[in-house]
Structure 1
Amino acid sequence: MHITYSPVEELNLLKEFQDKVGYENFARGFGLTEYGDISGLPAWSEDPEFTRRLIPFAQATAGGSFYALWRLDDREDLATLPVVVFGDEGGEHVVARGVRELFQLLGFDEEISVEHEKAYFYRDEDEPHTDCHDEYVAWLDQHFGLPVAEDPDAVLAAAQAEWGQRFADWIRPFLH
């Protein structure tokens, strides 16, 4: 079965996986939502340039934070666009340099915490993994040959170093 959820093949593969194991069952708080649904963006800005350059695709936390692709340019391979998070209580940050890097972060199996100043992952050592975490780890390796992010702070720092300031400069004029 091949699902056409989006124009991003990596997200289509993840959608197939999610449909098998369930929403939020492989990465705490995460679930693919309607690709390109911009209904959450007006909380930040209704400017057409703002909404044209962001492609929401997933819930980041059970509280309502969400992930979006940032169309910083017109490249054809959307999977290589930076992934940004918008916090349900504010804050917007670059978290991954592309979809595959986000997939590695999802393997950490904890919701992202989004504050105005930063985004980060924290997991108690004794907290159990989601029901299908092991299946997700195997899926990530099988489809992309990637390990989970054992140090999500390093992944976030690399994404911020490459795209963080440019994203902050781009988004600043749009914020309410």
Structure 2
Amino acid sequence: MAKLYFRYSAMNAGKSTALLQVAHNYEEQGQQVCLYTAAIDDRYGVGKITSRLGPQRDAELFDAEYDFFERAPKVSCILVDEAQFLSPTQVQQLHRLAHVRGIPVICYGLRSDFLGEPFPGSTYLMTLADTIEELKNICTCGKKATMNIRVDANGKRMMAGEQISIGGNDHYHHVCAKCFYQPTGNH
């Protein structure tokens, strides 16, 4: 039975690497997969899923208007990177795709933003996913990193701003909950 999976973590925990490994595993068995990433994520080029370790693959793009149920191809598995950018409707489409068409859907993304607020797509994934798995990461203090903070060009923590601002290690740090609640100048 196909399911909708949500694999989440703080930033830099290897979500894209894990997605690329799953794609490789399916393809090594002669099965077809379809990879998706958010159209707004252009850190490594538009339509690219890139691991910080180096591997990269082309991917289909989704934006707020993309209809997964109507447009998804018949494949053995659908893999979605940057799943926090899915709309609630798109999460419902992916859930329906898994259960009606029998195609496993594995989504990788963040659970919350730099202020600890949930992303709408992640909220719906936490609600509808049949299986939810956390990928682990470590804070600089040694505890499990579960949160993200945004920093400016000088490395100072930002406490306000738009929920979505595309960036990598130069804009975001992954931290544990204790470090997340430290005064702004301490991390």
Instruction: Specify the TM-score bucket, using the shorter chain as the normaliser.
Output: under 0.3
Is the helix fraction higher in 1 or 2? 1
Say which structure is richer in strand.
2
Which structure has the larger Rg? 2
Greater relative contact order, per chain length (Cα 8 Å cut-off, separation 6+): 2
